[in-house]
Amino acid sequence: MLDVLANRTYRHLFAAQVIALAGTGLLTVALGLLAFELAGADAGVVLGTALAIKMVAYVGVAPVVGAFANQLPRRAFLVAMDLVRAGVALLLPFITEVWQIYVLIFLLQSASAAFTPTFQATIPDVLSDEKDYTRALSLSRLAYDMESLLSPALAAALLTVISFHWLFGGTVVGFLCSAALVLSVRLPQPVASERKGGIYDKTTRGLRIYLKTPRLRGLLALNLSVAAAGAMVIVNTVVIVRGVLGLPEDDVAVALACFGGGSMAAALLLPRVLDKLPDRAVMLPAATLLGVVLLAFAVATWSGTIGWPALLIAWTLLGIGYSAVQTPTGRLLRRSAQAEDRPALFAAQFALSHACWLLTYPLAGWLGREVGVSVTLAVLGLVTLIGFGLAAWLWPTHDPEEIAHAHPDLPPDHPHLREHRDHGHAHAFAIDDLHRHWPARPTGRDSSPASGRT
């Protein structure tokens, strides 16, 4: 897996991601302590509101930025967003009112909503080989899991010698280092599209490509499955450990570490698995695993047979399923759009996936408070399996990269038809200006072209 780091550009980008994630982890800890300093017992309300603001920024800003990302110098744009995030983090230690937290968090997360999809869309241009890109996706998943495990420990160690206000300084350093690493390499710049269109057309292009592509409609359903299972772990682990099992606070971290460890184990194994199996054959069973584990744990909780070992096993399995659904996502996006449309498509995935989290976060919290852990596990388990069922229905089992199709609306001498005439007009299919609709009956390369305008 580490062979992919031989690519200097990717190595620097991966280092930028890891350092920025470490800074973000310190920010999470510091923000919680700042909220408690300003709001006392209402700190949970403040953090919950800040989390909702984060999701709103992600859902609202990402598609807009994705529409124009190709019009801007990619490296300069990424560096600028890192500098904006560093500037906002620099202001956080000096605020004195809760509303100021909300304003700065919106600004910071808006910059992140601009940075992250553009960064993600850059990686497949840097690593053109699919095997290399798959390994890069696994490394990215490992980086996120390591951040969730190590950043709290780093913050705890730093807090023994400094005030929590200085943790924001670590966040600033992380974003500045990320900017420096991005600036140190040359990034491929996709050819800007010359297509015409207004603001609406440009900002919705990624969403329209997404929703017209069958495999991506299936991915949207899987986003719901991942969000339901993930929200259960993130929101209610403390409730189960402290409230149901009556265990000490340290065991909350142990349970979350099992979830992260399962995710990391899956990320390490997935490159070899994906070399042999198609994405659908990996992602759908993984979503099923998430739902089955949640429902089984709901039954165990309801019957009173739940125990500490069962929780650790369940959370490890959830981590495995979570990573197995999440990691191949970039592969689907890469094969589902032309290079110039990738920023918009990655932005659409970023917005839609976080819209699912915006739904499941409050659902997990409200159900846990109103009806208890057992019912919450059962409901979210059912939501996860509904997502799996929708994905299995929306994502065709036969999903070839090359699809035979026809262009009855194009003149015979059109450059696109001349380019592919020798192939019986079958090529890697993606929604674009010449292919506005998915063929009604996807066929193999040797089959007759699908009828209808594409």
Angle of helix 74-91 relative to helix 8-39, nearest 10 degrees?
A: 20
Phi/psi at 403 (5° precision) = -130, 130
For residues 402 and 98, the model is more confident at: 98
Average pLDDT for residues 119-144, to the nearest whole number?
Answer: 86
**Identity of the amino acid at 292:** V
Average pLDDT for residues 414-432, to the nearest whole number?
Answer: 65
pLDDT at position 177 over 60 = yes
pLDDT at position 27 over 60 = yes
pLDDT of residue 76: 92
pLDDT at position 449 over 50 = no
Provide the CATH number for the domain formed by 206-396 in this structure: 1.20.1250.20
List the single range of 149-158, 229-238, 322-331 with lowest mean pLDDT.
Answer: 149-158
pLDDT of residue 108: 92
pLDDT at position 430 over 90 = no
pLDDT of residue 378: 95
- At 131, the pLDDT band (50, 70, 90 cuts) reads confident
Residues 100-116: pLDDT tens digits?
A: 989 999 999 999 988 98
pLDDT at position 156 over 60 = yes
Instruction: Look over the chain and give the mean of its residue pLDDT values, rounded to a whole number.
Output: 84
List the beta bridge partners of residue 450: 405
Average pLDDT for residues 180-196, to the nearest whole number?
Answer: 77
pLDDT above 70 coverage of the chain, percent = 86
pLDDT of residue 295: 96
Cα gap 334→37, rounded to integer Å: 45
Cα gap 264→324, rounded to integer Å: 10
- At 1, the pLDDT band (50, 70, 90 cuts) reads low
pLDDT at position 247 over 90 = no
For residues 96 and 29, the model is more confident at: 96
**1-187 matches 206-396 in fold:** yes
pLDDT of residue 195: 56
Tokens of 261: 């460890």
- At 193, the pLDDT band (50, 70, 90 cuts) reads low
Average pLDDT for residues 338-360, to the nearest whole number?
Answer: 87
pLDDT of residue 417: 67
Angle among Cα 381, 387, 388 to the nearest 5 degrees reads: 90
389 CB-contact burial (10 Å; exposed 0-12 / middle 13-18 / buried 19+): middle
- Inter-CA distances, 426 with 75, 85, 151, 414, Å: 35, 45, 49, 16
Provide the CATH number for the domain formed by 1-187 in this structure: 1.20.1250.20
Q: Which of 57, 59, 33 is nearest to 46 (CA)?
A: 33
Phi/psi at 197 (5° precision) = 150, 155
pLDDT of residue 444: 42
Average pLDDT for residues 324-335, to the nearest whole number?
Answer: 91
Cα gap 381→374, rounded to integer Å: 11
Whether 252 and 312 have beta carbons less than 8 Å apart is answered as: no
Average pLDDT for residues 159-174, to the nearest whole number?
Answer: 88
pLDDT at position 342 over 90 = no
pLDDT of residue 443: 43
Q: Which of 13-22, 48-57, 220-229, 396-405 has the highest average model confidence (pLDDT)?
A: 220-229
pLDDT at position 246 over 90 = no
pLDDT of residue 80: 94
Helices (H) and strands (E) in the chain, counts: 15, 2
Tokens of 284: 């759908």
- Inter-CA distances, 305 with 180, 302, 309, 350, 367, Å: 53, 8, 11, 39, 21
Terminal CA-CA length for the chain: 39
Q: Where are the domains of the chain?
A: 1-187, 206-396
pLDDT of residue 303: 80
Q: Is 323 helix (H, G, I), strand (E, B) or coil?
A: helix
pLDDT of residue 452: 37
pLDDT of residue 198: 62
pLDDT at position 453 over 50 = no
